[in-house]
A and B are shown apart, each in its own frame.
Chain A
Amino acid sequence: MKVRVHVSLKNGVLDPQGRAIHHALEGMGFAGINDVRAGRLIELDLADDVTDAAIDEMCAKLLANQVIENYRIEKVS
């Protein structure tokens, strides 16, 4: 089973990386950029009997830091 974990910064958490990307895009001449937020994509290849609860626990305990980040689990196959 392939699972994608999308980790993103919570609203209100400053994202210096996103801001730098924003400035770089504008510097390249792209217009109309309102905001940029950078996140992280983690792909897991798991045995079929790994439970949803276990995947959620992996996210909560290590893959995301819930003080600053949200996560979303997407099952690909």
Chain B
Amino acid sequence: MSNFLSLYADRMIKAIGTHFTYVIASVSIAFVVAVFLGILFSRKPSWATVVIPLLSVFQTIPGIVFIGVLFLYLGMVPATVLIALSIYAIFPILKNTYVGIIEVPMQYKEAAKGCGMSPMQVLFRVELPLALPSIISGLRISTVYTVSWAVLAAMIGLGGLGELIYAGVSSNNNALIFAGAIPAAIMAILFSTVIDLVRKKLIPKPLRGDGK
């Protein structure tokens, strides 16, 4: 074990750092864009009926293809990974934001309007707080996926934990596979746990629903 650590510790720490940065950066970009678009679509449901099915079709394109194609156009730069990961991360958040807002019961919105709230106030004080459980679920799905997709960054030589896994798989070095796979798994589980905690903190019990 100590031998293993002395061999790979430096590489592992560097890879974990890169991986973590990819995930945080792309999920943050995705979150901002997705919540904005989700709100926009909830104002214009007719757009959503066109765009949301299109996005689901788009979502069936495997991540490797997207990173690969962007790589051919943009070359081996971190932007390739960030763009690809962000685009993938947008969809679950966007969909959950949209559905969350749309599913706020009519009577709450009516009541808010009846209290004299402006459309902006209805959005920020009624709709978004009620849609929050759904939005955070979307965020959790996106983050876990992104940890997974970020492994692919290594395919185009841009580091992250995938690099160790690839090197291990192609040189038949089991220790290297573990050195990449275990931190990646732990990172995904940690992100998921932290987001669950945030969810518990932010959302009062009656609004949490049964699911995660």
Q: Is this pair of chains taken from one and the same complex?
A: no
Chain B residues packing against A (C-beta within 8 Å): none
